[in-house]
Amino acid sequence: MKSHAQVVVIGGGVVGASVLYHLTKAGWKDVLLIERAELTSGSTWHAAGGMHTVNGDPNVAKLQQYTIELYQEIERISGQSCGVHITGGLMLAGTRERLDWLKMAKARGRYLGMDLEIISVDEAARMFPLMDKTHFTGAMYDPIEGHVDPYGVTHAYAKSAQIGGAEIVRQTRVTDLKPRPDGTWDVITDRGNVRAEHVVNAAGLWAREVGRMVGIELPVLAMEHQYLITGDMPELKGQKEQLHAIDFEGEIYIRQERGGMLMGTYERAGVPWSEVTTPWDFGQDLLPNDLERIAPSLEVGFAHFPAVGAAGIRKVVNGPFTFAPDGNPLVGPIRGLKNFWVACGVMAGFSQGGGVGLALSRWMVDGDPGADIWGMDVARYGDWTTLAYTNAKVRENYSRRFSIRFPNEELPAARPLRTTPIYERLQTAHAVFGDYCGLEHPLWFAPSAAEAHDQVSFRRSNSHPHVAAECQAVQNSAGLLEISNYGKFDIRGPAAAEWLSRVMANRVPAVGRIALTPMLNERGKLIGDFTMCRLAQDHFFLVGTYAAERYYLRWFERHLPPSGVSVRPCAMEYVGLSVAGPNSRALLQTLVRDDLSTAAFPFMSFRRMEIGMVPGYVGRVSFTGDLGFEIWVTTDYQRALYDSLIQAGRDFGLKLFGGRALNAMRIEKSFGTWAREYRPIYGPFEAGLGRFVDFNKTDFIGRAATAEEKASGGALRLVTFKVDATDADAIGDEPIWHDGKTVGWVTSGAFGHRVNQSLALGYVPAALAGADTGFEIEIIGERHKAERLTGAAFDPGGALMRR
């Protein structure tokens, strides 16, 4: 084994092998993979090898498409067969809701260039004769589904990497990792040490243990997973290979394996494996079978596919593999550790391994993953993902792998975990809560405790009239919203203004003022949007998306000067309340001595104030787009602040409102939000944020690329639509049609109660952004006429928020 390497990849499963290959492909040759035993010795060797392109996150779906297309390339380079069988696949619906879900998945696939088709039960039964069609209502057909040989794929990556210059060392375990002051690593193994510039944790089942070597607790947990293989079936003799099928009602996937069928389940009563530590002596072992646990699923499966039930079980496989709480991979650099990268929690290595390797290698070599991988970024998790939280969420995710997640469905595991001081007050007011980063926040308020729950639906649900009443209160009198679920940063120091000016695209505000600003990467793409508030010459309060706190911090720390600026995340030290609506000023004025008139405290002002007995920061700004104020206080004061606002609000028609109403109102104002309208695939001019880019500054990150975008206009444009919807509104990820062709995608949608219109925000090609007619938006399989609005649906001139 060599003593120095540019990169050490820990783990020779399908993911580590893919990372290694992609690093060599990107031009890094001095790369070394260290494997504890033989390649595939973790979860890879006993995988069923199934692969498919469909994923809830369109950006992850794209990487899955890439992975499947890659197999030809690595077969060609390595001469190693990947055992690819592209059979095509069926997703079988047993209920109307599932068929709706499939229609939505098909629609989303359309703008990703996927060739999905909704077919009748009869058609499905013709394609897949093993099914008993009486149990189903329809199906979706995907021509690009199939399976591979896990051994073949891993070795094809590994050999291709070796041909590209990589070295692979087997039977060698990394036992420790020690950072050196120069940012390099000592990789300690049981067979000598290696000094590496970069380390990649691709240790799969042992990713937690490797994480602990550097002091981090990665939110991954292995679950036991079982599949069975039947004996040879006469029904398959002489037939062409059967399709893959997913039967959602039985939580079952099924495909042909030689002369029989392979059937696996994601059963409700899933069981975690090695909840705290993974034994190092676990080799190419299987776990004891537990058919009783999956019996309810098998019963459904055998009823739905009777010939499979009759065939008899030849073999059962029970093996562990890892999941993150949301089931998506954990990829990227770890904040606070120099040159330490992860590629783990990959639960679908044969659909995702290639995309993970590509994204990570680009990130390491070019400093940027080259694609929008927010859904896989390890930075999407924070301190709340404790071992027990991860355990609860992974179990839930596993048991729901084939369940429908409705757009208004909040999942119950690991709740309530984090609450603010007014949680009980809001409960008493019949709040229906959502979970955001483990934090309970109010979504809407019901008239009674009995009604305080969501009836899950793809269509307008039971919350609709109550959200309408909340929006109308904001429009006509005043609304009170909890806004604690934002990320906040306290930024100080003599160089703070200069640093912010470089990191943010907009002008740094004057003392007492607020500026909205995009944050851009060097490619001029959006990697954040912030409310920048200036308290003093050398003191700022920055508000952004809480889920992205670590993502932002990783970026901030990369660009911090050695001295002169301190950045402190303070998300839960400051919690907040917002009052909005025409009466909000008069209401708040009863509690503060400062003059809140527009002359004295104009729109976008920010100041320390005392609100009754409570000290806090008050900003004259509201995401509702109406006159409004955001008040930030330290957590200990929030209850008192709430009580005084509620008390004062009695004379001003104050009504509580929640996140659903806020979402509807910000869409009425065409205000975008992180991870929906603002993502690293869009530039600020495409996203309609051009006015927040200050080209008078000679330097800020992304300036050159953004100047080019400004000159060219960019390829895309964010547009607001009024939709002729009936009982279901767009929610995001629906295709936008123009003149009979899919041209774009919706990023957010809702019913705008203040304007009494169904609305959607979405991206279309810039060349089409001026088209007045011909747009349609597909909602649950039906195309609805959509009218492009030239400005925001509500108060397009912005007079109300400035009044």
Residue number with CB closer to ligand FAD (154 or 670)? 154
- The span of 54-62, 196-204, 237-245, 470-478 binding ligand FAD (CB under 6 A) equals 196-204
> Do the strands 716-723 and 654-656 form a parallel or antiparallel pair, or are they unpaired?
unpaired
Q: How far is CA 602 from the centre of its chain?
A: 36
- Per-residue interface string for the shown chain with ligand FAD, residues 145-174, x marking contact by CB under 6 A: ----------------------------xx
Smallest distance, ligand FAD to C-beta of residue 49, A: 5
Nearer to ligand FAD, 347 or 596 (CB): 347
Total site size for ligand FAD, rule CB under 6 A: 42
Query: Looking at 9, 47, 60, 112, which residue binds ligand FAD (CB under 6 A)?
Result: 47
Q: Among 39-47, 290-298, 605-613, 644-652, which window interacts with ligand FAD (CB under 6 A)?
A: 39-47
Q: Which amino acid is at 584?
A: S
What is the rounded CA–CA span in Å between residue 12 and residue 28? 18
DSSP string, 354-373: HHHHHHHHHHHHHSS-SS--
Residue number with CB closer to ligand FAD (203 or 779): 203
Is residue 480 a contact point for ligand FAD (CB under 6 A)?
Answer: no
13 binds ligand FAD (CB under 6 A): yes
**Residue number, 274 or 634, with CB nearest to ligand FAD:** 274
Q: Which is nearer to ligand FAD, 220 or 645 (CB)?
A: 220
Q: Cα(7)–Cα(197) distance, rounded to whole angstroms?
A: 6
Kindly state the smallest distance separating residue 213's Cβ from ligand FAD, in Å. 8
Q: Which amino acid is at 769?
A: A
Of 8, 21, 25, 42, the one binding ligand FAD by CB under 6 A? 42
The backbone torsions φ and ψ at residue 309, rounded to the nearest 5 degrees and listed phi first, read -60, -35
Measured CA to CA, the distance from residue 48 to residue 23 in angstroms comes to: 27
Phi-psi region of 361 (alpha: psi -120 to 50; beta: other; left: phi over 0): alpha
Write the single-letter amino acid at 107: A
DSSP-based three-state secondary structure for 460? coil
Among 9, 10, 376, 432, binds ligand FAD (CB under 6 A): 10
Q: Of the candidates 43, 64, 80, 87, which one interacts with ligand FAD according to CB under 6 A?
A: 43
**By CB under 6 A, is residue 46 in contact with ligand FAD?**
yes
Shortest distance (Å) from residue 72 CB to ligand FAD: 18
Residue 705: CB minimum distance to ligand FAD, A: 34
Q: Between residues 203 and 298, which has the closer beta carbon with respect to ligand FAD?
A: 203
- Distance in Å, CB of 51 to ligand FAD, minimum: 6
How far apart, in Å, are the Cα atoms of 732 and each of 105, 725, 739?
A: 12, 14, 21
Smallest gap from residue 235 Cβ to ligand FAD (A): 22
Closest CA to 195 of 23, 422, 7, 474: 7
Which of 7, 9, 14, 130: binder of ligand FAD (CB under 6 A)? 14
Among candidates 231, 59, 288, 39, which has minimal Cα distance to 149? 39
CB of 432 to ligand FAD, least distance (A): 36
CB of 255 vs ligand FAD, minimal distance in Å: 9
Residue type, 548: A
- Residue 407 has a CB neighbour count (10 Å cut-off) of 16
If the CB atoms of residues 135 and 212 are measured against ligand FAD, the closer one turns out to be: 212
What residues from 209 to 248 belong to the interface with ligand FAD (CB under 6 A)? Answer: 210, 225, 227
Strands 735-738 and 741-752, bridge-based pairing: antiparallel
Pairing of strands 782-789, 741-752: unpaired
Which contacts of 442-451 are long-range, i.e. CB under 8 A and separated by 24 or more positions? 442/482, 442/656, 442/658, 442/659, 443/410, 443/658, 443/659, 443/660, 444/470, 444/657, 444/658, 444/659, 444/660, 444/661, 445/470, 445/655, 445/656, 445/657, 445/658
With respect to ligand FAD, which residue has the nearer C-beta, 50 or 438?
A: 50
Assess 205 for contact with ligand FAD (CB under 6 A). yes
Report DSSP letters for 538-601, one per residue: TEEEEEEEGGGHHHHHHHHHHH--SSS-EEEE-TTTEEEEEEESTTHHHHHHTT-SS--STTTS
Stretch 330-369: interaction string toward ligand FAD, x if CB under 6 A: --------------x-xxxxxx------------------
Does 317 engage in binding with ligand FAD (CB under 6 A)? yes
C-beta of 10 vs 665, nearer to ligand FAD: 10
* Radius of gyration for the alpha carbons in the chain, expressed in angstroms and rounded: 27
Q: Does 12 bind ligand FAD (CB under 6 A)?
A: yes
Which of 5, 8, 11, 571 touches ligand FAD by CB under 6 A? 11
Comparing CB distances to ligand FAD, the nearer of 226 and 506 is: 226
Interaction residues for ligand FAD, span 15-34 (CB under 6 A) = 15-16, 34
| DSSP secondary structure code for residue 334 in this structure | P
The smaller minimum CB distance to ligand FAD, of residues 221 and 760, is found at 221
Which one, 334 or 443, has the nearer CB to ligand FAD? 334
Which three-class secondary structure state does DSSP give residue 321? strand
> Cβ closer to ligand FAD: 321 or 632?
321
How many other CB atoms are there within 10 angstroms of residue 739's CB atom? 11
Token couple for 73: 């390339």
**Would you mind telling me the total number of residues written for the chain in this entry?**
803
- Token pair 């499963």 is found at 13
> Min. distance of Cβ 89 from ligand FAD in angstroms?
12
In 3-state terms, what secondary structure has residue 277? coil
Among 24, 41, 78, 506, which residue sits at the site for ligand FAD (rule: CB under 6 A)? 41
Are 507 and 670 in contact by the 8 Å Cβ rule? The answer is: no
Task: Please identify which residue in 6, 26, 30, 37 interacts with ligand FAD, judged by CB under 6 A.
Answer: 37
Q: Among 91, 114, 166, 203, indicate the residue that binds ligand FAD (CB under 6 A).
A: 203
Q: Rule CB under 6 A: choose which of 109, 204, 325, 683 binds ligand FAD.
A: 204
Q: How far is the CB of 668 from ligand FAD (least distance, A)?
A: 42
Closest CA to 167 of 37, 41, 40, 31: 31
Smallest distance from the beta carbon of 519 to ligand FAD, in angstroms? 31
* C-beta closer to ligand FAD: residue 257 or 709: 257
β partners of residue 174:
189
Residues contributing to the site for ligand FAD (CB under 6 A) = 10-16, 34-37, 41-44, 46-51, 173-174, 202-206, 210, 225, 227, 317, 319-321, 344, 346-351
